[in-house]
Amino acid sequence: MKALAANFGIDKTLKILGLKDVNEGTSTGLTSFFGNELLESYSPVDGQLIGKVTITNEEAYEKVMDAATQAFKTWRTVPAPQRGDIVRQFGDKLRQKKEALGKLVSYEMGKSYQEGLGEVQEMIDICDFAVGLSRQLHGLTMHSERPGHRMYEQYHPLGVVGIISAFNFPVAVWAWNTSLAWICGDVCVWKPSEKTPLCGVACQNIIAEVLSENNLPEGISNLINGDYTVGEFMTKDPRIPLISATGSTRMGKIVAQEVAARLGKSLLELGGNNAIIVTPDADIKMTVIGAVFGAVGTAGQRCTSTRRLIIHEDIYDKVKKAIVDAYKQLQIGNPLDENNHVGPLIDKDAVKMYQNALKQVVEEGGNILVEGGVLSGEDFESGCYVKPAIAEAKPDFKIVQHETFAPILYLLKYSGGVENAIDIQNSVVQGLSSAIMTNNLREAELFLSVQGSDCGIANVNIGTSGAEIGGAFGGEKETGGGRESGSDAWKVYMRRQTNTINYTTELPLAQGIKFDL
């Protein structure tokens, strides 16, 4: 597939996004200070080298932080609606370059082109949300117990926000964070995944145009590149009051400890081991659509991917047959070809984890219903293409309790009432997304009640995968407890301040205390 880049316009895409010289070592975006080492980005689609970016060393990081801290002093004084207008302009730039950025996401990460476009649309949507929010950063007024006094609360920007994002959503998660942080008056330093660095550079180039056109300080948006050691610059830095990190639970625990040690704030979006409960009152057609897309979309590499299907014994065989038949229709291949449903895993390490998981489920007594395996041949020369697999298993299998970032779906059987299915769903350490398929109102309401799902996201008659930007996104337990995107998630990017104003000529003390001089 060496002609793939030319056939699907990758070279043109790189030029549109300001990445035409990437093979010579590209700029790491605005406020860039270079080291000597280069980070190479290879596409899982065809195994080809896309380009190289410079790795941020410690000296370069210090210069980035100097630029960011200085820019904050200016940016925080810009009225919030004006900050919102900058975000609006950024959203308009994304509209202009949606196809190009979506294609780069698909080629560098491996998700389907349609999913790549969808990810850029999420960026546009959160920009729109943030623009409106820029006029609604409201506080609260309350009555004072002292006469002639007024009390209120207001929110101020935190300062420099550090963002660490994962490869599976190489642009959208950054936008969720940075759009809100910007309208709150914060500046940002972003470390994208070392597996998708060019997506980061492309985004930085786009916002650089907006800042330049408005004569704003370049340090409002900053990009650093490298592996976890570069991320450690931020997690240990007391100049960064908030670290927003997306990735594995293992990574999140390290970040949380580092940031907590300096009494900083963490916003963590970590692993998910998401389940769909299928009750006897479920619509089977809807169940199949939700479960299949949830399990194989992005090749099972979403934090919200469906990994467990908990099916009532009365309909188990019927649902099993329908799911297995649906898998026979899946097309695997180049994600830039819109006829294909499933693209590659991110790299060969991910392939090994996929293979080990299938081996382990058999060792624990599971039954493979849809065979997995690594695909080979001219169309799969990157070595990252695998077959989506289905296995019958039991809830207490160790591999079922573990999140495997790959297209493996476990079918689990339950009996009795829906309470038993909820217990199975809640038995894992992760708590991100969950769903129930039922037309029974009582089952649906129980699932959403305090006795129901323990996840941050709980859906009825839709799958686990995907979320609208208007709601707060995040999960509980080892998913980290963070909330991004919509609702009142903006508050995490700001500090709360309580104010009391005395507009009299007396100074009464609280609780009636007397202190006469």
Six-digit token string for 194: 């070392």
Around Cβ 269, how many Cβ atoms within 10 Å? 29
Q: Which residue has the tokens 């800042």?
A: 211
- Yes or no: say if 414 and 393 are a contact pair by the CB < 8 Å rule: no
- Rounded Cα distance between 501 and 83, Å, is 28
In three-state secondary structure terms, 517 is coil
Q: Helix 197-213 and helix 80-96: axis angle, to 10°?
A: 120
- Rounded Cα distance between 172 and 350, Å, is 22
Six-digit token string for 171: 């642009």
Around Cβ 42, how many Cβ atoms within 10 Å? 16
Q: Helix 58-75 and helix 228-235: axis angle, to 10°?
A: 50
Six-digit token string for 89: 């302009």
Which residues fall within 8 angstroms of residue 14, CB to CB, at 6 or more apart?
20, 22, 50, 51, 104, 198
Residue 414 main-chain phi, psi, to 5 deg: -130, 160
Of the candidates 292, 257, 268, 250, the residue with the CA atom closest to the CA atom of residue 465: 292
- Yes or no: say if 410 and 400 are a contact pair by the CB < 8 Å rule: yes
- Yes or no: say if 28 and 219 are a contact pair by the CB < 8 Å rule: no
- Yes or no: say if 354 and 404 are a contact pair by the CB < 8 Å rule: yes
In three-state secondary structure terms, 162 is strand
Residues found in the chain: 517
Q: Are strands 408-414 and 389-392 parallel, antiparallel or unpaired?
A: parallel
- Yes or no: say if 93 and 65 are a contact pair by the CB < 8 Å rule: no
- Rounded Cα distance between 433 and 147, Å, is 49
Question: Hey, which residues are catalytic here?
Answer: 269, 303
Amino acid making up residue 115: E
Alpha-helix residue ranges (DSSP H) falling in 379-417: 398-401
